[in-house]
Structure 1
Amino acid sequence: MTPAHAYTMTQTTPPQIGLVVLQSDETLEDDMRRLIPHSVRLLVTRLPSAREVTSETLARMEHHLSDAAALFPRNLAFDAVGYGCTSGTAQIGVERIATCVRDGTRTAAVTEPVSALLAACAALGAKRIALLSPYIESVSDTLRRVLADNGIDAPVLGTFAEAEEAKVARIDGPSIHAAALQTLENAQADALFLSCTNLRTLDVVPDLERAAGIPVISSNLVLGWHLLQCAGVIGADVLPGDLLKGA
């Protein structure tokens, strides 16, 4: 009988990023796999979310966040974990989201689209932004108040006035492009922000930026960028738009 041998394995652990995606989101996971290099390990969990987007349904996601984070493999320690909802972050609060995520999994950093947007505005030197959202105005107004509390003015809002989440992923690129340019008319903005992780924006951003003549950023773009920064994969010299060069 051939004797058994014990082998020692050596392995360099790649950077590890976790992503909490809403049950209703059809866009964010695909976008993150475009933005995040293959050398980075990306793991995804899902969180229950309602079909209709209101302040009340957004707030209820707080109660599921720790349980969703707890579904990541128990032995992992992440470099960064992202929560994938812009309006949900504005409603629940940045600090509360970080606490809930850390209650469920081990991670060195937690971010979400609001913190990522604030970091992107700082990197771009943007103090006044135009905002395009798929949602009804009352949902977007909460985000605008949070931005104002953090020194970012968002006086101009464009909206598709959509209340049903499933329809957000059906909004096509030409519609986003046209609505964005209409939102920018007389806006005098430093940048344009396309809000919502379920809105299909990545393929629209480059052409829209050329047409608008100002930086164009989106929830998924800034979230991917900030996750990579928090995980130490990219440095402060990399701007959000740089990620699209290889996407």
Structure 2
Amino acid sequence: MEREIPAMLRAREAIRPERFSFHSARMRMKKVVKEELAAMDRDSDRCALELSDAAVDVMGYACLVAIMAMGPGYHRESQQRLYKVTEENGHPAPVVSSAGALVETLTGMGAKRIAMVAPYMKPLTQTVAEYVEAEGVEVKDYLALEIPDNLEVAAQDPMNLTEHYKRLDLKNIDALVLSACVQMPSLAAIPQVEAEAGVPVLSASVATTRQMLLELGLDPVVPGAGSLLA
């Protein structure tokens, strides 16, 4: 998120008048396992409080799987709780979670059946698939890259995804989620994969950017980020 969302907002600045500043507070997590994800989520209140000191206009909760590992529909509870933290601090700001952004974007675009790539181990990837399906979107196929180390996830070459996605069954899908994780880079690969696959291609970062722009009352338009933001 700290690389790709600012990159998309900078690209948008080339075609629209709005200008953005980016602020972050970090929840701790090293291994992408359920115990660390739960501890990470508990830390989110502190982060929301710190960021609200800066009177930001919108907040993005960056870890998709930390939310989804807490059970179906948890993004609604998390977003409401974190908003209340900002409200009590005197600087209310809408909160967009990458988990909520992904499912809301998929349902909003009318996607009924998808395929996705995730860096997580298979059990966590299955958890993500079940979370998405609980929101009414069938996950026809998924690829778990099984990378447990969070820093290794971030170090992936996004262009590797131009080959990884070919291992998925793309027949009769409505969209391809090229990275169901804001930590795994994918932005550079989205235009190429979309051109090859012939279906809308998005990522958790693209969906989060779109939802943040909508919360700001701005056109969700970003060049070079796929058809969803075209």
TM-score by shorter chain over 0.5: yes
CA offsets per residue over residues 76-123 of structure 1, 9 Å max, x none? 2x4321101111121232123213422432334221122211232234
Residue 135 of structure 1 contacts residue 163 of structure 1 at CA under 8 Å; is this kept in 2? yes
* Distance 1:235-1:217 versus aligned 2 partners, 3 A rule: closer
Higher relative strand content: 1
Aligned mates of 2:109, 2:228 — CA distance in 1: 14
3-state SS of 2:22 partner: strand
Aligned residue pairs: how many?
Answer: 214
Aligned mates of 2:229, 2:199 — CA distance in 1: 16
- Report the counterpart of residue 169 of structure 1 in structure 2: 154
How does the TM-score come out when normalised to structure 1? 0.78
* Distance 1:48-1:91 versus aligned 2 partners, 3 A rule: same
User: Which piece of structure 1 moves more, 52-61 or 218-227?
Assistant: 52-61
User: Which piece of structure 1 moves more, 151-160 or 200-209?
Assistant: 151-160
* Distance 1:64-1:31 versus aligned 2 partners, 3 A rule: same
- Report the counterpart of residue 117 of structure 1 in structure 2: 102
Matches within 5 A, 1:1-247: 28-36=1-9, 37-38=12-13, 39-72=18-51, 74=53, 76=55, 78-92=56-70, 93-105=74-86, 106-183=91-168, 185=169, 187-193=171-177, 194-234=179-219, 241=226
> Matched residues, percent identical?
22
* Distance 1:137-1:117 versus aligned 2 partners, 3 A rule: same
Aligned mates of 1:107, 1:144 — CA distance in 2: 32
How does the TM-score come out when normalised to structure 2? 0.83
Aligned mates of 2:220, 2:204 — CA distance in 1: 20
Aligned mates of 2:172, 2:4 — CA distance in 1: 29
Q: Mind listing any 5+ residue stretches in structure 1 that lack a counterpart?
A: 1-27
CA offsets per residue over residues 35-71 of structure 1, 9 Å max, x none? 2244243332222322110122111112211111111
Aligned mates of 1:153, 1:73 — CA distance in 2: 36
Q: Mind listing any 5+ residue stretches in structure 2 that lack a counterpart?
A: none
Aligned mates of 1:178, 1:35 — CA distance in 2: 23
Structure with max Cα Rg: 1
